[in-house]
Structure 1
Amino acid sequence: MSKPCRRPTRAGLREERGNKRRQEKALNAKRCAMGQRPPAPAPLPNRCSTFATLAEEREAREDAVSKQTRLLRKELPALLGQLEQIPDPRDPRKRQHKLTVLLLWGLLMFVFQFASRRESNREMTRPQFLANLHLLFPEIETLPHADTLYRLLRDIDLTHLEQAHVDLVRRLIRGKSVRRYLINHCHPIAIDGSQKLAGDTLWAEELLQRSVGKDETRQTQYFVYVLEASLAFHNGLVIPLLSEFLEHALGDTEAQKQDCELRAFARLSDRLKTRFPRLPILLLLDGLYANGPVMQRCWRAHWQFMIVLKNQDLPSVWQEFHALQALKPQALQRNWGRRRQHFTWVNDIDYAFGSNRRQHLKLHVVVCEESWERVDQQAQIVTQTARHAWLSSQPLSRENVHERCNLGARHRWGIEAGFLVEKHQGYHYEHAFALDWNAMRGYHLLMRLAHVFNTLARFTRQLRDLFRQFGVRGAIRFIRTSCAAPWLDSARMRGLLAEPFLLQLE
């Protein structure tokens, strides 16, 4: 005799969905009565095309391409001027393309989100695409083979390319476009590491290595790991800034240890201080960096920081926090979006570290306990809780705890969201593009620079409606397909490109 089916019937499923909708409606009404009105992001429209005629679609494509190009061309003169200073290692007798044209072509390859050198060869060298590129960028008369760019990146000094990226971000900061997103008058910079690629072939001496698998199947794996720094603002704007590659030879050779993230942080922080010597910075770091040498380095650089503090880290600091909190409690309750938050903090905790604990720092610890309601799969309203703790370089108070924690430290996730975008949403972060260490780094820097331009396009007012209508990848695909087909009228495009472009971020 067969067992009775336990799957719900269609009527049962409809009843469950109805109950869940009613509970969500009641929960939203309760939130509104309590004054909790978080801005809900509008989903992408699920509808047919809004273009009624061919002329409307042509006009929309020309408008989108012209605005994206004007954004690029606004920064191109300074960018190309810096790229011209890069020493060209090629034989002058065999040069067919300028160095700036090659690097601009590589930048556009990532702006249009081509997946590989082979795809960019196949698509960008088509006559129609080439004609439109020449219309948009007169510097490009002919396009080279992708291997030509590879050979250039293999031999050039990438310091100049990185400096061009840094100067672009510096001009953005000086233009005061991001002033309203600062935290305590500081620019929030998140630093975190990410694996770029892994394999079983040692194609470069700089690769890190590790053992994977169990005893019987254990084998050596070689991988590339990068420590990234990005500006992470509380409105969701994340601007890639610097990349520090971990190399096997840069580890502790005496202890036979390869390079690690903390060693890379020391190198990256030195470069960051050299590139931005007077910029007020607030570092947003995860729990790996909750140690004395890192915080001391921040103090010496005159940087502020907010560092995740885990329960098992710095036991002496936690012990003093609980003791002082019991004697003199400092607390704040507030609502943030749909969450009810309870902050407690203690200032001026003495932390001793180093040999014989001779070095001391004054730290400030804040703990946030929050709760919120949601409707579960059984259509029941359940309460969820979370707890967060941070080390702060500055004393905390009722006036700054929300800004430093909710608008600063909580948005460290922005750099992780940036990794997700670069790995799975068109930039192919985990693709090497070249099995040569210097060329691989060059393609990586071009990819990060292209991500800056596409991020600015997403947040600028001129292209806001386009990205809201199609989404990020859809908008980039819309612009790319417009360049690949005979949509662009030369006369009208020249008129649109001649209009001034003012970068205004949302």
Structure 2
Amino acid sequence: MSKPCRRPTRAGIRAQRSDKRRQEQALNAKRRAMGQRPQSPPPLPNRCSAFTTIDEERAAREDAVSKQARLLRQELPALLDQLERIPDPRAPRKRRHKLTALLLYGLLMFVFQFASRRETNREMTRPQFLANLQLLFPQIEALPHADTLYRLLRDIDLTQLEQAHVDLVRRLIRGKSFRRYLINHCHPIAIDGSQKLAGDTLWAEELLQRSVGKDENRHTQYFVYVLEASLVFHGGLVIPLLSEFLEHALGDSEAQKQDCELRGFARLSDRLKRLFPRLPILLVLDGLYANGPVMQRCLRAGWQFMIVLRDKDLPSVWEEFRALQPRQSQTRQLDWGKRQQHFSWVNDIEYAFGANGRCRLKLHVVVCEESWQRVDPQAAIVTETARHAWLSSRPLSCENVHARCNLGARHRWGIEAGFLVEKHQGYHYEHAFALDWNAMRGYHLLMRLAHVFNTLARFTRQLRDLFDQLGVRGAIAFIRNSCAAPWLDSARMRVLLAKPFLLQLE
């Protein structure tokens, strides 16, 4: 005899949803009564078009395109001046397009989030798209074939291209665009690695390799791995900064080891110090970097750091922390959003490393234990808990623990979120665009630079409403489709483009 079905009926499912809704309302009312103001991003509106006439839609499209173009045009003179210094490797008699026009074409390719060189060829060279681009960017006299850009990126020195990106970020820093996001007067920078692409073909000698599969299916796989550095501010503002490609030949040949994240970190940190010698920096790093040489390098550079401390890392530090905690630890209770947090920390823990423990550092350890309530699918209120620990370069206190932990170290996830955006939300991070090492890196740098411009557009006061209504990909598609169709009136667009643009991040 079969067992009776325990699956709820339609009425039971409806009642369960109603119970869950009531429990969530009661939980939110309880939080408000306790003075908690949890910040949750509002969902995208689910409604029909807000436009009632064609003229209204035309005006909205012209306004959005003009603001995006004014943001780009504000930085283009300095950007193109920097790009113009790149030595042109092409034969003078065969140049049909200026080098700056080619690189601007590559930048717009990623600003508009085209998926491939083939799609860029097909869409951007349409007569209407070309006419609108020439209206927005007079530097574009004609659009090249995408393979022309590929041949340029294959042969040029990419140092100046990355320098143009750095100079753009430096101008934003000097203009105090990020002033309200600083942590203890420092710019939080996260460094983390991500795989770009993998395959079974060795198409460049710089590729890393690994063995994958089991038993008879085991084979060698080749892959590209990039160490990225990004400014990660609270509020979700993430600005790509530097990229360091790991290369097989840069490993330890004597130990027969290929390149790795820690070796890449040494190179990237040297470049970061050379490019921003006096910038106050707070590095927020994951548990891989909780080791003496990395922390010593940061301190010698004059940087602060907050590094994730896992339970299995630095046993001597954990041992001393647990021994001193009953006598010397300081604590603070804090409500942060929906979470109740308990911080405890011990300052001035001595850590010895190196040969015979010759090198010594003073570290400061903070542990955050937090709890929060949520409503589960069965409409029951359950309490969740979590625990986090960090190494700090500066002593902790009741005044700075919230800023360093919640606004700084916790927002290391911003670089992970940036990877997800670049991989799955239109930038095609994992697409090579060219099976040539130099050209692949060039496309990658153009993609990261375009991500900066789109991030600025998302957070600037002039375009914030558009991105809130349509979402990031929806807003970019709205602007791209406006450029691809006969929506833009030349006379009105010239008036709009002539207006000044003040970058104000919200």
TM-score by length of 1: 0.99
Distance 1:67 1:145 in 2: 28
Distance 2:198 2:336 in 1: 41
| Corresponding residue for residue 475 of structure 2 | 475
| Aligned partner letter, 1:9 | T
| Corresponding residue for residue 381 of structure 2 | 381
The equivalences for 1:320-469 within 5 A come to 320-469=320-469
Secondary structure of the corresponding residue to residue 440 of structure 1: helix
Distance 1:230 1:293 in 2: 22
| Corresponding residue for residue 109 of structure 2 | 109
Aligned-residue offset at 1:326? 1.4
Aligned-residue offset at 1:329? 2.8
Secondary structure of the corresponding residue to residue 305 of structure 2: strand
| Aligned partner letter, 1:336 | W
| Corresponding residue for residue 189 of structure 2 | 189
Aligned-residue offset at 1:2? 5.0
| Corresponding residue for residue 265 of structure 1 | 265
Residue by residue over 1:427-486, the C-alpha shift from the partner in whole angstroms, topping out at 9 and shown as x without a partner, is 000000000000000000000000000000000000011101100000000000000000
| Corresponding residue for residue 65 of structure 2 | 65
| Corresponding residue for residue 23 of structure 2 | 23
The equivalences for 1:2-401 within 5 A come to 3-401=3-401
Distance 2:41 2:171 in 1: 30
| Aligned partner letter, 1:428 | H
Distance 1:335 1:39 in 2: 12
Secondary structure of the corresponding residue to residue 75 of structure 1: helix
Secondary structure of the corresponding residue to residue 210 of structure 1: strand
Residue by residue over 1:326-352, the C-alpha shift from the partner in whole angstroms, topping out at 9 and shown as x without a partner, is 122311111001100000000000000
Distance 2:182 2:342 in 1: 24
Distance 1:119 1:333 in 2: 54
TM-score by length of 2: 0.99
Distance 1:198 1:341 in 2: 41
Aligned-residue offset at 1:387? 0.1
Residue by residue over 1:273-324, the C-alpha shift from the partner in whole angstroms, topping out at 9 and shown as x without a partner, is 0000000000000000000000000010000000000000000000000111
Aligned-residue offset at 1:3? 4.5
Distance 1:329 1:502 in 2: 47
Secondary structure of the corresponding residue to residue 215 of structure 2: coil
Distance 1:205 1:122 in 2: 32
Secondary structure of the corresponding residue to residue 463 of structure 2: helix
Distance 2:448 2:41 in 1: 26
Distance 1:331 1:5 in 2: 52
Aligned-residue offset at 1:377? 1.2
| Aligned partner letter, 1:446 | L
Secondary structure of the corresponding residue to residue 223 of structure 1: strand
Distance 1:271 1:239 in 2: 17
| Aligned partner letter, 1:439 | A
Distance 2:315 2:382 in 1: 33
Distance 2:399 2:136 in 1: 50
| Aligned partner letter, 1:161 | L
Distance 1:170 1:282 in 2: 16
Distance 1:7 1:106 in 2: 55
Secondary structure of the corresponding residue to residue 217 of structure 2: coil
Secondary structure of the corresponding residue to residue 340 of structure 1: strand
| Aligned partner letter, 2:308 | V
Distance 2:481 2:229 in 1: 32
Bigger shift: residues 33-42 or 65-74? 33-42
| Aligned partner letter, 1:145 | H
Secondary structure of the corresponding residue to residue 211 of structure 1: strand
Bigger shift: residues 174-183 or 34-43? 34-43
Distance 1:470 1:191 in 2: 30
Distance 2:5 2:235 in 1: 49
| Aligned partner letter, 1:233 | F
* Unaligned stretches of 5+ residues in structure 1: none
Aligned-residue offset at 1:364? 0.2
Structure 1 vs Structure 2: percent identity of aligned residues?
85
Distance 2:22 2:488 in 1: 50
Bigger shift: residues 319-328 or 250-259? 319-328
Distance 2:15 2:271 in 1: 60
| Aligned partner letter, 2:315 | P
* Unaligned stretches of 5+ residues in structure 2: none
Aligned residues: 506
Secondary structure of the corresponding residue to residue 444 of structure 1: helix
Distance 1:20 1:465 in 2: 32
Aligned-residue offset at 1:7? 2.2
Distance 2:329 2:130 in 1: 67
Q: In angstroms, what is the RMSD of aligned CA positions?
A: 0.7
Aligned-residue offset at 1:40? 2.3
Bigger shift: residues 320-329 or 241-250? 320-329
Secondary structure of the corresponding residue to residue 105 of structure 1: helix
| Aligned partner letter, 2:65 | V
| Aligned partner letter, 1:460 | T
| Aligned partner letter, 1:201 | T
Distance 1:343 1:232 in 2: 23
